[in-house]
Amino acid sequence: MQIPVHKVEERNLFIEWRDIKIIPGNIEQAHRHDYFQLMFIEKVKGSHEIDFQNYTAANASLHFVGKGRVHKVDFENDVIGNVIIFPETIFTSSNNDLQLLASFTFFNNGAFPILKLFKNDLEKITQLLKQLKQSLDSFEMSKHLLFALLIFVRELYNKSVGKDQISKDSYEIIEFKQLLKKHMHEWNTVDDYTQLMGLTNMRLNSICKQAYGKTALGMLHESKLLKAKRELVYTTNQVKEVAYNCGFEDVAYFNRFFKKHTGCTPLSFRNNH
């Protein structure tokens, strides 16, 4: 069993606007997207679960769902809000655009996914959203306005989490993170990554520590743990299947690895969530 993935396959480049609509009696199942999702909530009652953490939804807020994050909403029917969706490909035309995407840390795994908006900021966000919606007939115009919106949101978000400086990942760390997403279920050593990247292990460790305070192996382990946790909570796969999907052929070793990093066994983690 795999976690359902929502896709928009007919277009490579797009920015789409949707109104949030809740169908009475319909219970949303946990799923992930192959695109990014920015939710603007004007009025709401309910909750939003993202990667097995449940958050109380609030009026006048933004919700961030990064590509690949697992989530489900439990909003009441009278919710008022919109969703903007866009693919990673709109950031791949240049290295500068890739660095810009990396600076939007609110889309990252583990990032706090909700930003409460106060009066002045709410008015500015509403204005930017209105301009974006009106520009959707022109992809280039809507792309520039989306970037402007996200940059403004980045400033608000960084202030809210007490972060003064904008994250600026190097090209190497961006490449490493992309390779982790693609290969971490089959590549189990740092050598696997550095050989393809043309870096030494020492150089990659230095880059990772500077950017995230972790070694390259630590980031690899973190990626495997997140995948394991998602499968344990959101699928009915047996532990041996979860282990295999995360690149472990020995289930006993996977159990030890998981307990070492979480303090509990895979089954205990599943039962507690």
What is the model's pTM? Answer: 0.87
pLDDT recorded at residue 206: 93
Which letter, b or e, does each residue of 179-188 get, where b requires 16 or more Cβ atoms within 10 Å of its Cβ?
bbeebbbebb
pLDDT recorded at residue 170: 78
What's the Cα-to-Cα distance from 98 to each of 198, 211, 271, rounded to whole Å? 20, 15, 39
| Residue ranges covered by each domain of the chain | 5-160, 171-271
The answer, yes or no, to whether residue 168 has pLDDT greater than 90, is: no
Give residue-wise pLDDT tens across range 53-70: 999 999 999 999 999 999
pLDDT recorded at residue 96: 87
The answer, yes or no, to whether residue 164 has pLDDT greater than 60, is: no
Do the domains 5-160 and 171-271 sit in the same CATH topology, yes or no? no
The answer, yes or no, to whether residue 146 has pLDDT greater than 60, is: yes
β-pair partners for 114: 63
**Lowest pLDDT segment from 16-25, 165-174, 181-190:** 165-174
pLDDT recorded at residue 2: 86
The answer, yes or no, to whether residue 163 has pLDDT greater than 70, is: no
The answer, yes or no, to whether residue 263 has pLDDT greater than 60, is: yes
The answer, yes or no, to whether residue 11 has pLDDT greater than 70, is: no
CATH class of the domain comprising 5-160:
mainly beta
Q: What is the mean pLDDT of the segment spanning 17-33? A: 88
Give residue-wise pLDDT tens across range 218-257: 999 999 999 999 999 999 999 999 999 999 999 999 999 9
pLDDT recorded at residue 230: 96
Give residue-wise pLDDT tens across range 78-127: 999 999 999 999 998 888 888 899 899 999 998 999 999 999 999 999 99
Residue 195 is encoded by which pair of tokens? 């050989």
For 44-170, strand residue ranges (E) read: 46-50, 53-56, 61-65, 71-75, 80-86, 114-116
pLDDT recorded at residue 10: 59
Higher-scoring residue by pLDDT: 161, 183: 183
The enclosing H or E element of 41 equals strand 36-43
pLDDT band at 32 (very low <50, low <70, confident <90, very high): very high
Q: What is the mean pLDDT of the segment spanning 129-148? A: 95
C-alpha 143: how far from its chain's center? Answer: 20
Task: Give CA torsion, residues 217, 219, 222, 228, to 10 deg.
Answer: -80
pLDDT recorded at residue 48: 96
Distance CA 116, CA 135 (A): 26
The answer, yes or no, to whether residue 166 has pLDDT greater than 80, is: no
Closest CA to 216 of 227, 196, 202, 197: 202
Q: What homologous superfamily does CATH list for 171-271?
A: Homeodomain-like (1.10.10.60)
**CB proximity list for 182: less than 8 A, separation 6 or greater:** none
Distance CA 93, CA 83 (A): 24
